[in-house]
Structure 1
Amino acid sequence: MEQREIDCFLVLAGELHFGRTAERLHLSQARVSQTIKKLERRIGAPLFERTSRRVRLTPLGEQLLADVEPLQRAMRDAFDRATASARGIDGVLDVGFLGSGAGMLTSALLDTFRSRHPGCEVRMRETQFADPLGPLRAGDVDVLLTRLPVEEPDLTVGPVVIAEPRVLMVPTGHPFARRESAELEDLARDTVFGVVSSAPQYWWDFHVPPETPSGRQVRRGQSVSTFQELITLVAAGQGITPVAASVTRYFAHPGVAFVPLRDAPPTEVALVWRTAGLNSRVRAFAQAAADAVRANGGPAAF
């Protein structure tokens, strides 16, 4: 199949008018018609229904459009990325991160991006539990490394860079601290720290479910706004909380112990950006993240 045939088909499928299609492609209407007929002969069935009043896709044409459009878009994006890499990207990219960001993969991600775009300055900014998505929405950061889930209509979730198990953080003197593992049912046996008002409810419900798998209510304590506050409260014996396993490496504290939470779903960190704020710098950073993950053999694990 020739590229001209694909272009004719896609433009005509969008315009549903031979005259406008010819104008957009800088061809004659006769040439457009010949090209479509050639494509239909190649496929073996009509792709368009033509009458004196209108042009519309046949069911086969609709199926072909659904299959071809994503491929065309992916090819265009690939050439855009290659062009951006060849030209280089200048300016400043503000990258937000929650907690430890991408963990051990952070340096590889930054190195990949900086080697491709040495003219672009990267500035890292920490975000907090109190308002994990606020800095992104306010434009204080261009892209954010944050814990999933993120289910916001104005935000796009990009490559997942970390996938890791969860552990239960408890005071060192807690009975659970002597156990080899814990399970989600154990959350009903103590106070678990509560919701910060600015965090999406579904985000906290994933990390601290309101009920155990058997339906027992989880008692939630006071709200927290920073991770240091959370650790301090646990060390003081005020409650327990599920956390990512990487916390044991990056936020060790003499007053807390970590117990594997064997039946909890894994937690992931992904790149997130404002859908309306997608630009060449964000696109290039997302590509660098995807390539760093691929070079690592998949999302980093603790």
Structure 2
Amino acid sequence: MDLHQLEAFLAVAEELHFGRAAERLHIAQPPLSRTIKQLERDVGAALFDRTTRSVRLTTAGEALVEPARQVLDDVRSARRAVKSAGRGETGRVRVGFAGPSSHLLVGQLGRLVRERHPGIELNLRSTTYGHEALRAVVNGDLDLAIARWVTEPPGISHRIVSVEHYVLVVPEEHPLARRELVSMAELRDEPFIALPADPGSSVRDHFLRFASAAGYAPNIVQTAPDSWTLMALVGAGVGLTVTLDTAVNNVVQEGIAVVQLEEGLVPTYCWLAWRRDDANPALREVLKASEVALPTPDLEQAPS
């Protein structure tokens, strides 16, 4: 039994006339009759009662009608799915990001992809820090990452989607809470809360570089798995933290104050990154949408 036989069978079953069925299929009647006979041999049963005046379905033929329609519908659906996937109309794009600092960006991208390409599924993976996300993109576990880095990774195409600044977050009763600007050199004796060293966060890397440039290794009294926990611990008075203004802006936490960090006056960037040789058609469409949802900022106009 093959698709050609099922198409011929349905044409005869619906027309109940070999001549009309042949015209519908754009073939001559003798080849159609041979196809039906071959199908009957294959299934081991007569599918039609034929007389010189009429054609009727047998019980076996009636039993085959719906399964034959289902098979042909499934084949047509499969062909449409393949064509749609090849055009990037359907598919899956796996996106990694680090947490609240990227939530606004993820939301904007997700909304536009949903509007433009409802057949594309965005598989979102949060708390995926920069180093981890980039490794996942390179080895094919992620298709796209919203990430930050100190050194540009090889094999990655990328584009800036946000300008950010590092700030100091302190308990609201801390003496520094009333300062407008503070430098890392002044924080030598302060207790700090930081993101974990593994799997590797660019926010932690920048914090350690700032402290090293000021001539000391920071006193990290507590690590936290994400920015929400960082802010909660600062609000509880456990210590101070250096983080991004975009992270603070997306976390609601009482009992904290945000102070401009001198080292953070120089802007840093958030990037959209993907594997340079990735041929996923759905990713191509998501990247097109990202140019509208997450346009590259005017760096000349970015605040300093």
* TM category, shorter: 0.5 to 0.7
**Contact 1:96–1:141, Cα closer than 8 Å, also in 2:** yes
Give 3-state SS (helix, strand or coil) of 1:281's partner: helix
Runs of 4 or more, structure 1, over 6 Å off, are: 298-302
Give the whole-Å Cα distance in 1 for the aligned partners of 2:164 and 2:268: 6
Quick check: 2:160–2:271 contact (8 Å CA) kept in 1?
yes
- Secondary structure of the corresponding residue to residue 239 of structure 1: coil
Aligned to 2:282: 281
Deviation per CA, 1:172-192: give whole Å up to 9, x if none: 221111212222223323122
TM-score between both structures, scaled by the size of structure 1? 0.59
Aligned length: 218
Q: Quote the sequence identity (%).
A: 28
The answer for the alignment partner of 2:226 in structure 1 is 226
Secondary structure at 1:246's aligned position in 2?
A: helix
**Aligned residue number for residue 188 of structure 2:** 188
Q: What amino acid sits opposite 2:286 in the alignment?
A: F
Give the aligned partner of residue 146 of structure 1: 147
1:223, distance to aligned residue in structure 2 (A): 2.8
Unaligned runs of 5+ in 2: 1-83
1:288 corresponds to which letter in structure 2?
A: A
Q: Is the 8 A contact 1:91 1:121 kept in 2?
A: yes
2:175 is matched with which residue? 175
CA distance in structure 2 between the partners assigned to 1:141 and 1:287 by the alignment: 18
> Gaps (5+ residues) in structure 1?
1-83
In 1: Cα distance, 2:222 partner to 2:161 partner: 31
Residues 94 and 128 from structure 1, CA distance in 2 versus in 1: closer, same or farther, beyond 3 angstroms? closer
The answer to whether the aligner puts 1:269 opposite 2:276 as a matched pair is no
| Contact 1:191–1:220 (Cα < 8 Å) also in 2 | yes
SS in 1 for 2:187: helix
RMSD: 3.7
- Secondary structure, in 3 states, of the residue corresponding to 2:259? strand
Partners in 2 of 1:201 and 1:96 — Cα distance? Answer: 13
Say which SS state the counterpart of residue 269 (structure 1) adopts: strand
1:7-18 → structure 2 map (5 Å cutoff): none
Question: Where do residues 65-214 of structure 1 align in structure 2 (5 Å cutoff)?
Answer: 87-100=87-100, 102-129=102-129, 132-133=132-133, 136=137, 141-149=142-150, 151-153=152-154, 156-194=156-194, 196-200=196-200, 204-209=204-209, 211-214=211-214
2:255 paired residue number = 255
1:292 aligns with 2:289: no
Give the letter for the 1:143 counterpart: L
Bigger radius of gyration: 2
The residue number in structure 2 matching 1:246 is: 246
> 1:161·1:269 contact (CA, 8 Å) conserved in 2?
yes
